[in-house]
Structure 1
Amino acid sequence: MQTKEDQRLILASSSPRRQELIQSFGLPYIIRVSDADETVEQKITPAELVELLSLRKAGTVRDMLETQDQHGIIIGSDTVVVYNEEILGKPIDEQDAFRMLKALQGHTHQVYSGVACVDAATGQEVVSHSVTNVRMKPMTDEQILRYIATGEPKDKAGSYAIQGIGATLISGIDGDYFTVVGLPLSLLSDLLLTFDIQVL
């Protein structure tokens, strides 16, 4: 059986949303922000991309940890929005946000979230991803501009946040809600079992 010390989670993310979600597990955790390079040169699928970046974020944090701090499970996560085979990350500016939302409105798109768990002590790793279909309501240009003016789209994949005022843009989802938020909790709890950590 794992000791409480071994069960510590190390979240490799500065995202307030992911921090809130990790709290819900009721396990000890710390935050270590990953400054991993997120550029990917080769052409890969959205599933491969989110798994690669999730692992890269967790691995970067493992490299940052001091020797005496190398215990616990590092969690890396990455989320992208995909529409018409185009991967939509975070918008560069407001024009880019408008372009994305204009394309997504009135259509169904996919959200991919990858999750990687890395043992800080041994380097053992597991990684997986989940996909959710999201239907966005039709919107006028004025509605899109008003949403952008809230500032919410700024650092969000696909330029919207389902857990914020962006929820009013969404008419339905097929799949895991937390995949869209950015940290699929059901998948994460399954991956943690690899390290003998039981959330329930």
Structure 2
Amino acid sequence: MEKLKLNKYNIILASGSPRRQQFLQDLQLDFTIDVREIEEVFPNILKRTEITDFLAKLKSKPFTDLNDNDLLITSDTIVWLNNEAIGKPKDRNDAIKILNQLSGNMHEVITSICFKTTKSMKLINDVTKVYFKDLSKNEIEYYVDNFQPYDKAGSYGIQDWIGYIGVEKIEGSYFNVMGFPVHKFHQEMLKY
């Protein structure tokens, strides 16, 4: 099957996330991967989508060498719980602490995507509500020790074992919880 070529653009995905890379492959897009290091720090006054918008845009800043036919895609995901942003866990203890906070609660998963060319920049975002059952100490420790969710915002992947046994319901995009609102991304890509 021939890959979808979007007008005149070379798509560059600035993400080391295997899930984001897989989504673009599954959409049959032709793209390259170029990840550039940046310190992911945001001002404390920012809330919810302001944080992910800021970070997605920040990740595009090192790309000062885009060609006229390049379309850069950057993205960021956070978990928002009790008026606080939760990113990736630092270690095992942090992952267990975060999952204890999520246990029995509703949290939001927020993702922003930045589309950047030499002439324009556009930000989109999506919010999904996720409801966890009360997780036992054993369930949390089993998950952390066997799945090591250290590269995931909120210390979990909904597509993992913990999603099967712990998520009671979601309101919004399932794929957004995996870190990429594919439906909104595709809609936006059709404009390029």
Q: Which position in structure 2 is the counterpart of 1:192?
A: 189
Q: Which position in structure 2 is the counterpart of 1:83?
A: 81
Q: Quote how far apart the aligned CAs of 1:114 are.
A: 0.4
The equivalences for 1:18-29 within 5 A come to 18-29=20-31
The equivalences for 1:39-188 within 5 A come to 39-60=41-62, 62-63=63-64, 65=65, 71-119=69-117, 122-168=118-164, 169-188=166-185
> What amino acid is aligned across from residue 139 of structure 1 in structure 2?
L
| Residues 42, 54 of structure 2: 8 Å contact kept | no
CA distance in 2, matches of 1:40, 1:51: 10
SS at 1:6 equivalent = coil
Change in 2 beyond 3 A, CA 1:70/1:34: farther
Q: Quote how far apart the aligned CAs of 1:4 are.
A: 5.5
> What amino acid is aligned across from residue 102 of structure 1 in structure 2?
N
Q: Quote how far apart the aligned CAs of 1:132 are.
A: 0.2
TM-score by length of 2: 0.90
Q: Quote how far apart the aligned CAs of 1:193 are.
A: 3.6
> What amino acid is aligned across from residue 88 of structure 1 in structure 2?
I
Q: Structure 2: which 5+ runs fail to align?
A: none
SS at 2:27 equivalent = coil
Q: Quote how far apart the aligned CAs of 1:25 are.
A: 2.0
CA distance in 2, matches of 1:32, 1:58: 11
Q: Quote how far apart the aligned CAs of 1:106 are.
A: 1.2
Q: Structure 1: which 5+ runs fail to align?
A: 196-200
Name the % identity: 32
How large is the Cα RMSD of the aligned pairs?
1.8
SS at 2:57 equivalent = helix
SS at 1:153 equivalent = coil
| Residues 8, 27 of structure 1: 8 Å contact kept | no
| Residues 10, 29 of structure 1: 8 Å contact kept | yes
CA distance in 2, matches of 1:38, 1:25: 28
SS at 1:133 equivalent = strand
Q: Quote how far apart the aligned CAs of 1:70 are.
A: 5.6
